[in-house]
Structure 1
């Protein structure tokens, strides 16, 4: 029963199964792919090697051309230096000195000779770096080469070079040299020759740039390849490169041979091999990477969902409103805190165009201009933010603090602006309560100074009331003299002037009372532009009256270029009057010999200006005893005085008035004696300009 099945089993073993055929086809394709990759890689390596070899050969040939150019240029410069030896027609002994110096500078030249027209030696010089190269054979051994070179020089009317020849040396070595012959002409007539003997090896070592010669082998050869001289040893390697270049000199032509040895190029081909191999392996690994990427993608999506939920919980817990806008100013995101702040739903804010519904209608135009500036490209936003006013759904307004920052996406590009919005209504309410409390405290403090103001009032009213009393007494004296029947009746004009002065001083007393009253009631002081001359003219009658009593001369110095000052006229006049009275009292010395020095100067001039404003300087100068250091330390202290009848409030009040005007009151010692009190007031034009800029 088993025999009939044997042929079928043999047939089944002979015919491959479909799976085996599939696997064999797949392996055949992989083998073909591997063969293609290997062939491509081998081709790339071979092409890379050929390319690098061609690059090295090209650079070597360029270096050879550069070397021949350098040698030819150096020989030309040497010819110019040799020609300069005959510039001054020296005698043979004097000629040797510059010739030796030239040989000392150029190691490639072994000997310089001066010969006459018949090639007879006149003078010569030897190189200082080696013994004479003609010591063994003598100079006459190369006479034939010299004759041919000089004959060629006569034909060329310029330098000519002989063929190179070998000179054995005493040390058993030798040199390959050549001669350069240069005809010397005077008035177009040949007068002699200059000969220079060159060492071919020294030409290669001295006239070739060090950078070009490094790592190269240099040699002079004949046309058939015979080496004449060598310099340098090329680096060892398994691949040699040779470049040859003709050095064509007048009368002689040599071949410059440049050699270089390099190893097999490594970096460039191996890089290509690694690149191709990496790409092949990447094709094999891409399926495995795709499977792993799918698993990672699912995990990342799960983590992203958790992160979004976490961020949503944070946004819902914030009390600060968050708003995102694109580069066109459209709202793209709001958080629940912002929606609660303005009383609108997120859908209403996102779907609404410009202007948004939380802008007050009366300020839409202003906000649009501000938004255009804020959203401008490159606009810099303040880190501390800016304040604005928003509107709720019911139309009520509330102040907000807005802090904006650029919204940058994952690739570093700005896509809009992110805004943090704080409702500062409660903060403003607290600030308003604090401000009201501060105002009440200030009012209490001002009321506390009423007692001091009363003392100041009595101090300031003392002068106008004293003037009123003086003028009234004078008027009564005039009237009594008229009643007594004096022969000359009183002058009506004097009475009118006295009565007018009484009225002016009474008005001044009223203004002083009003100024103190305004200060206590916290009213803004009225300031007006006043010329310095007008301020002085207003106080001059009182100053002159007291000056006559005290025997003091008064001198007024006003710079007419001074601008008007912006001030409270009454208070500044009181300052001038107080300083003038103090100055006159300071000059009341009991020494009668010094009465001629009683001079009070009232000076007005422009003060030094700065970058923002201009000031006018007032000065009251006396020639009294001066102020001691002890008194100077507490001069402006309230209730400090050196007068028996003084109250110690005058100078303190003067400083307060000047500082209220933004100026400065100070004093300095006068020369040779006395004191100079100065204070500054702002010019009216400058003050107006600053006010306009601030507005």
Structure 2
């Protein structure tokens, strides 16, 4: 037993030594890991700082290049020194790093300068002329290099007892290869650091510009307090000068082993928990998304089934891939019969199927279709045709790929029927207005027709008397003289009868209700058609009619009856306006001085106008501001017996022709009502271009 105890003691001692050795190895390994981790983290900090310094140099170079482009753009076009100062001041307002901007001629004489608005003049203590040598050297080098050159930095004392380091940039201005002047920009070196380096790079670090020997020229920012300091240097090589950008950061590194190990284990544990949490949340979100997707599909299906607008989807080959119930009901065909159907579609009218198919092939061959709607004609299963309005847009899938076309189709049959009813009602309303106008002229017609009828009666009585004397044989008839007298009397009778017929025909043509057919008419013909009725009214009211017609005006394309009604209505309103001026006691013109002018001439928009202007100029009391606000309102009138529809209908007729009806005052008194009509040639060409067969897309 005595011999065994030393063995056990030796084994225990050797085992303890092994554990101590293992512990020492673990400690050494951990120490090595700590040291390597520290070195690695230090190298990462230094590498990151080097990258930041390189980015800071890149920011400064990019900023200087942008400034150079802005200065070049400032002198891109000719302008005076006074005009140059406004954009130059704006440039300095946007770039705080530039303290002064000068424009000099080819001999370096000053043409103009602008200083930064953010501080007092930097040359207040030291005159600019004393630094001419540095500018001359920089501009001489810039002219030799045909590019911008930066001068060596120099110190400028300031009024507050401090100072700053600045550098001048000289840019030669050339015209056709010849130097015409120089643009000189004075940079603050501290401004280069504070304005050109991005803010994330300059936070929490010390940024400075130094010379090659380490002399610090400008400093921006103070590094935060920490256990270690890291420094990175990068060269800022500019034409004419080289700076060293020094970046200092005091970022601490981990010093204790437990911190690294704890951070690593905690990070792995947190990462595992975060992964499990994210997986659980992702599962819940997937279930929620599936539920929402089911509800969205159900809602979309319900919405599509309740829509009154037909929906149709087609692929790039023209095959129908989707239709909603509204479209099936519209064309009277089941969805199973429409899906996967290509051209010709079963709802195409047979007589238009060839035209639709050719147009369909041309449109599907293009890259896109216009989004504006167009009209077409579809056919129901029972063979009835009906008009539709089609609006089509490209069908884009979730990855942005064009897979086909989506169409929204509206049945506009009821709309067309309503438009026809409205058009017919308007025609009846306009016809009623014409009848009412002619009723007002009935007394004038009777007075006007009395004269030709009385003349006819007188000439007929004279002719009968001549024949009676000749047959009685009281005196020997002189055959030639009698024949001449009878021929003259018959001619007078024919003239007066023709005159009466023209008056009646003009009223008949005006009252007659005709279809809306636009025809080519000369402007003078429109005026001549209403002149008998205008003259009737003018004689009653004692108004003289003056015509100013440019005979070179080309024909217009219009609904002749409607435009004649507009002209007559405006003429009657003008004459009544002058007549009411006399009745209300306003200063009126003499009877012979009351003139209504009817004027026709090309519109004054340009020398080759495609519009003809018709104007009715009166000398009445004018239109007050209260009346002007409601002048074209339906059923508004200033006449006791008026209906208030005349001007409203007139504007509607002119706007249907694409023209414009307006008015303006005349000095000293009076009003001009004018409207425009399109020239027949231009309008016909436009109509031919717009005319087409209803298209299916």
Q: What TM bracket, shorter-length normalisation?
A: 0.3 to 0.5
Provide the TM-score with structure 2 as the length reference. 0.45
Larger Rg: 1
